[in-house]
Amino acid sequence: DTEVTQTPKHLVMGMTNKKSLKCEQHMGHRAMYWYKQKAKKPPELMFVYSYEKLSINESVPSRFSPECPNSSLLNLHLHALQPEDSALYLCASSGTGLYGYTFGSGTRLTVV
């Protein structure tokens, strides 16, 4: 299995909702990432988990809450988002030395 699977593919949520994005990989990668990508822009790093511990938080607002339940799963909990948070959210994973840095196909999030 050489894929990173993200669910759901599309999500529409209101500003008072709580929702979660899920990411799963079975490549044995020990680093997992969340990126945010706005239209016609490159991906921006949000969080990095290394060996199931949060190692990098790129000053992301607290309305985004990451969670790594185990080495194969990565969640992003969303609460009280703003319309400007609408974007493509990408999950990625990597092994040692950036061999096999793999992206998922993303979740298209719309906040209304």
Partner 1 sequence: AQSVTQLDSQVPVFEEAPVELRCNYSSSVSVYLFWYVQYPNQGLQLLLKYLSGSTLVKGINGFEAEFNKSQTSFHLRKPSVHISDTAEYFCAVSPMDSSYKLIFGSGTRLLVRP
Among 11, 46, 48, 81, binds partner 1 (CB under 8 A): 48
Our CB check for partner 1 shows the closer of 66 and 104 to be 104
Quote the radius of gyration of the chain (alpha carbons, Å).
13
Q: Which range in 13-21, 49-57, 64-72, 77-85 contacts partner 1 by CB under 8 A? A: 49-57
Closest alpha carbon to 84 in 63, 106, 99: 63
Q: Does 33 bind partner 1 (CB under 8 A)?
A: yes
Give least dist CB 90 to partner 1, A: 6
User: How many Å is the maximal CA-CA distance in the chain?
Assistant: 40
Q: Is 1 in the site for partner 1 (CB under 8 A)?
A: no
List the one residue from 29, 43, 81, 111 that touches partner 1 (CB under 8 A).
Answer: 43
Q: List residues bridging with 103 in a β-sheet.
A: 92
Nearer to partner 1, 75 or 102 (CB): 102
Residue 80 or 88: the one with the smaller Cβ distance to partner 1 is 88
Q: How many CA atoms lie within 13 A of 6 on its CB side?
A: 24
In a 13 Å sphere around the CA of 81, the CA atoms on its Cβ side amount to: 24
